[in-house]
Structures are given as structure tokens and as C-alpha cells.
Amino acid sequence: MALGYAPYLLQHLNVVAADNAPETKVTPTGFLKLLLENNPTLQLPDYEKLRLSNGEGNVRQVQLKYLQRALPSQTSTSDDCDNDLIPAYAETTLTAVTFRKISFFISDLDIAKYEDDAAKTVALGQPPTDFMKEHVTTLMTLVNGLVGAINKDLISRVTFGTNITTGSNAAKTINIPIDATRHDLTAGIGKLLSDAQDNEFVGTPLLAGGGLFNTLMKEKGFTSTGFNGLDNAKALDELKWYYDNYTQAGSGAFGANHIGMFSKGSIGFVDLQKYIGFRSGKKGISTFFQISLPVMAAQNDGTADLMTFDAQLRYIDCPTEISTGYSTVTVSRGWQLIISKNYDLFQLPSNAYQAGDVLTGSNGALLYNITNS
């Protein structure tokens, strides 16, 4: 690897990954965390998750086939040999057409110093020098922008299905009552749970969002049984919550005080990893590899999960003009590190259930507006 930069970068990444300094913080991307933690499996050799590339770097088209379930009206009351229906498969194709990348430039002079510091300290088993920390910090300043963009792309792609309790895919209002002396069966966490049952969710409902519902979740550990006999903490244990403030405002967001509720297996992250297998290694003036970066500071508790990105370390062998993000400058010889990702959002098809089914239009994704009155 070029001057030993990439392996030492990987080795020292964890030094600042959990730092509370502004430049190294990663805004919680709970929706992305929800997708990755609950990703459906393909159960294909070397394509276990929703991905279009295998461990050798081969890319293939993946199509999923599905059948619509029969309706009560399609059964017969006659004891005869007449055929009632012929099941027909429909298909949906997995794609990873969305692309995001970010890059930065490092001069040869800086790389040379990094190599010298790294070789000395790593060989002795010592912690990284301040100079190495500075380089990892530089990389970390890019992570928040890249991961945030991916998360926002995925949020904007969500298609909410029909909620059979309303017959609409519009946001349903759920009120969390202020008055804890009355047992309101039309509101509260119990209504979310009964909606999940009515919409035939199997397993723990997955929720993502922010706003008022996140405040409720933050108070979960301080609640007890109310005067109406309800214990919200126990009710909230029946849900899996993912905090994501990106869902609250901006283009493609769920909306202020809105949350999404999803059934496990109905939604997922489609991954395409390029620089693995025969696609990795030294090629011309570039080296192609993969790098794992912290992408989700879960619930602002300082912890981070890792996600794999494609990386290209490219040598700029002549003085050239490059963008600084604000202007154009001329740089001497050095290295450009490009970090990128191909991805997409998977959801159950909107026609998973035929017309006349109680779940017509359902896709396992429901939208809610949370109020507190």
C-alpha cells in the first residue's frame, strides 16, 4: 500500500472514532442502523445479505420472486374438481444505483512524515503520535457528511404503505396523553402495538424517527405505573427504537414529530461492494481497497458501529489544480483518498397483496404523527 499509509490509517482509526470533539462527531443515523441491523437475508451462497457483489468482487443481478396470497373469496363451497386459481409469480429487482463519494488530498511531504511516525511507534507497540491522530481526524471530518448523505438518501426513498386501520398511507396521528389518570384506548403506545397486530406485523416492530417520541424514549427509564394502571416503560419494551433526527426536517424527511414503523424483513439496505477480490489491489497509479468507518453514534452515547466503504488511494504525479470544496488551488505531488459507496433501499413491493386482500397496499412500512395533549 502506498507508503504504508492505508494500513496504518486503519490501525489508528479507533483512536478518535468515539471522540466528542466537534470535527469527529457522527450525527446519529438511526434509520441506516435500523436497515443494517435488521437486513433481510438472501440465503444465497456468498450473497447472504441484500448485496449485489460476492466476496470475489463479482456483481450479479438479483431478482426476487413472490406470490400473492389467496383470498377467502377465492375458495369454493362446491365439492367438485373445478380448479380455483393458478398461482403466478411476480418479480422485483434489487438495485444499487445510488452513489455517494467524498475525497481529500494529502501532500507527499505529509505522507512521508506519517510513514516515519507510524513505522516507529507501531513497531514499538506505542500509541499513535499527534501527527497520526491529525490524519485520522481529517478522515473523520468527512465521515459525518458521507454517512449523513447516505442516510438522508435512504430516508427520502421510503414508500409508506396502506395502514389498514385508516385505509390510507398518510400519517396516522397517535396521541401520547398528558393526563395519566385516564385509560384512553384510542391513544398511546398500546395503539401502536395494536396497529402492528392489525397490519399483521410479525416480530418486534421497528421504529425510527425523533421529536416527541424520542423524548418519550429518553424518559423510559424514569417512568412507573400511572394512575390509570399503565406502565409505559413495559409497553415501550415491545418496540425497537432507532433515533434519527434526519427524519424530522428537510427534503424527503418523514416530517416533524413523525416516526416510521416497519416490520422486520420488509425493508433493508442493498449493498454493492466494488473493491474486493479481483477488483482490489494496485492498478496503475491507484490502489483499491476497503475501509470500515464509524457510521452511527448510537443514541448519542458515544459508541459507534462500523460500515464498509470502497476506497481508492490515487497518486497525483504532477502539480495540478484541485478543488478545496470552496475554491480551486494548485497542489504539488501527493495522494488523493476517495471513499465511496453504491447502495439502495429495498422494500416489499406495493403489490405484495392482491386487490381485495385485507392488506391490499401494505408493504410493512407505516407513518405516524406523534402528538402530546
The tens digit of pLDDT for each residue in 149-200 reads 999 999 999 999 999 999 999 999 999 988 766 667 777 899 999 999 999 9
Lowest mean per-residue pLDDT among 110-124, 268-282, 308-322, 337-351:
110-124
Q: Which one has a higher pLDDT value, 87 or 264?
A: 264
Query: What would the grid cell of residue 106 be?
Result: 494529502
pLDDT averaged over the chain? Answer: 82
Three-class secondary structure of residue 296 per DSSP? strand
Which residues touch 323 (CB under 8 Å, ≥6 apart)?
none
* Alpha-carbon distance values, 132 to 115, 118, 289, 308 (Å): 9, 7, 20, 22
The greatest distance separating any two alpha carbons of the chain, rounded to the nearest whole angstrom, comes to 86
pLDDT tops 70 at residue 131: no
Classify residue 353: in a domain, yes or no. Answer: yes
Residue 51's pLDDT band (boundaries 50, 70, 90)? confident
Residue range of the domain that includes 249: 172-266+349-371
Same domain? 23 vs 136: yes
Classify residue 98: in a domain, yes or no. Answer: yes
Same domain? 275 vs 337: yes
* Predicted local distance difference test score (pLDDT) of residue 132: 54
- Per-residue pLDDT tens over the stretch 287-341: 898 888 877 665 555 566 788 899 888 888 888 887 777 778 888 888 888 999 9
* Predicted local distance difference test score (pLDDT) of residue 144: 85
Positions of E strands within the chain: 63-66, 90-93, 98-107, 172-175, 206-209, 240-243, 258-262, 267-272, 281-283, 286-297, 304-316, 320-323, 328-331, 334-347, 365-371
Classify residue 121: in a domain, yes or no. Answer: yes
Same domain? 118 vs 193: no
How many structural domains comprise the chain? 2
Determine the Cα–Cα distance for residues 251 and 171; give it in Å rounded to an integer.
17
Same domain? 276 vs 337: yes
Classify residue 96: in a domain, yes or no. Answer: yes
Classify residue 299: in a domain, yes or no. Answer: no
- Would you say 97 and 337 are in contact if contact means Cβ atoms under 8 Å apart? no
Same domain? 15 vs 94: yes
Classify residue 334: in a domain, yes or no. Answer: yes
Residue 241's pLDDT band (boundaries 50, 70, 90)? very high
Same domain? 215 vs 275: no
Same domain? 261 vs 274: no
Same domain? 125 vs 253: no
* Predicted local distance difference test score (pLDDT) of residue 133: 59
- Would you say 240 and 264 are in contact if contact means Cβ atoms under 8 Å apart? no
Same domain? 15 vs 136: yes
Same domain? 7 vs 124: yes
Same domain? 42 vs 153: yes
Same domain? 185 vs 334: no
Classify residue 228: in a domain, yes or no. Answer: yes
Classify residue 84: in a domain, yes or no. Answer: no
Q: What is the pTM of this model?
A: 0.84
* Predicted local distance difference test score (pLDDT) of residue 160: 98
